[in-house]
Amino acid sequence: MGSALYLMYARGVFEPTQRLILVADDSEGVAVGMDVTFSGFPIGRVRGLRLAEGGEVRIAVDVARRDAHWLRESSVFTLVRGLVGGTTIKAYSGVLSDPPLPDGAVRPVLRGDATAEIPRLMAEARELLENLTQLTAADSALGGAMGNVRTLTERLNAPGGVLSVLTGSDAESRQVLLALQRSNQLLARLDGMAARIDGAVARVDGMVARADRQVLGSETDAGLVAEVRATVLQLNALLGDARRSMAKVDAVLAEAQAVGANTREATVGLGELRAEIEANLRKVEGLLAEINRKWPFARDAELKLP
């Protein structure tokens, strides 16, 4: 009797408990006396099972009052039957600050059966194997794609290489290569023509620069335009001298007409005036000859005297 009493004490028979009712749709694997665990520690024990009027199973669990504070109103209970081992009832409390679970509370049980998933997993595995068999078959789409990849690899390793793959045939790839070669030759010719044109432009620029120096002059040389301008100025001066000489002739002739008595003196004055006019005309002739010599567009170098 003492041993029996001690065993009952060790089992918690005399420990104060509170009742918890768990409702499940299937109680397979649940037995009286199995533990209800929380974080791996037993906090309660199944005391009885009965079938309710609605067909659900009501599992009566005694929870020790010293461990009842781990159960809250938001706690979740699961009934799990694994592939290895027996069935277990577990409690989960996510928010320990919620109100504690009252005595006699009724809570549903979430059931998870690993063995129930085996047929579905086997069916899915069988379907997967069938799909793999179809994919790896010789007449499958994957087989055709692999054949196309092999053909593409062989063509890439062929002499035509990537160009034959892009054009679709070796003949078209050779035409493309020929067109590229002709384009390179044409570009080389265009480069040569451009070089020659640049040389011609440089020569023309040199000729224009020399013409500018010859016509307009430079810092050390006055140039043709400056020389012509100086010659024209000299010619204007000579023409002014000739004009003044002609005025003198007019004055002498007037004096000769007015004074008819002194013919010898008038004749002497006319001779001197004529000599002066001839000297001025010779200067004009020399200046015109100098202009014709310097001016490259003159053609007639003859000077006609009056």
pLDDT tens, 130-154?
887 877 776 777 667 777 777 767 6
What's the pLDDT band for 225 if we cut at 50, 70, 90?
low
Beta strands in 102-174, from DSSP E residues, in sequence order = 105-113
- pLDDT tens digits along 241-267: 777 877 777 777 777 677 665 556 555
> What's the mean pLDDT in 123-128?
84
Torsional sign, CA 207, 210, 214, 215: positive
- Spell out the long-range contacts of 268-276 with Cβ–Cβ below 8 A and sequence spacing 24 or more: 273/245, 273/248, 273/249, 276/245, 276/248
Q: Is the pLDDT of residue 301 over 70?
A: no
Question: Distance of CA 185 to CAs 174, 198, 252, Å?
Answer: 17, 20, 89
Which residue would you say has higher pLDDT here, 30 or 134? 30
Question: Looking at per-residue confidence, does 9 or 66 come out higher?
Answer: 66
Per-residue pLDDT at 222 exceeds 60: no
How much is the mean pLDDT over the chain? Answer: 76
More reliable by pLDDT, 147 or 107: 107
Local confidence band at 14 (pLDDT 50, 70, 90 cut-offs): low
**pTM, to two decimals:** 0.37
Confidence band for 187, pLDDT divided at 50, 70 and 90: confident
Q: Provide the CA 157 distance to its chain's centre, in angstroms.
A: 32
Residue with tokens 């301008």: 229
Higher pLDDT, 173 or 12: 173
- Is residue 232 very low, low, confident or very high in pLDDT (cuts 50, 70, 90)? confident
Return the pLDDT at 192: 84
Residue 77, judged by CB atoms within 10 A of its CB (0-12, 13-18, 19+), counts as: buried
Q: Name the pLDDT band for 276 (thresholds 50, 70, 90).
A: confident
Is pLDDT at 127 greater than 70 in this prediction? yes
Is the pLDDT assigned to residue 288 strictly greater than 70? yes
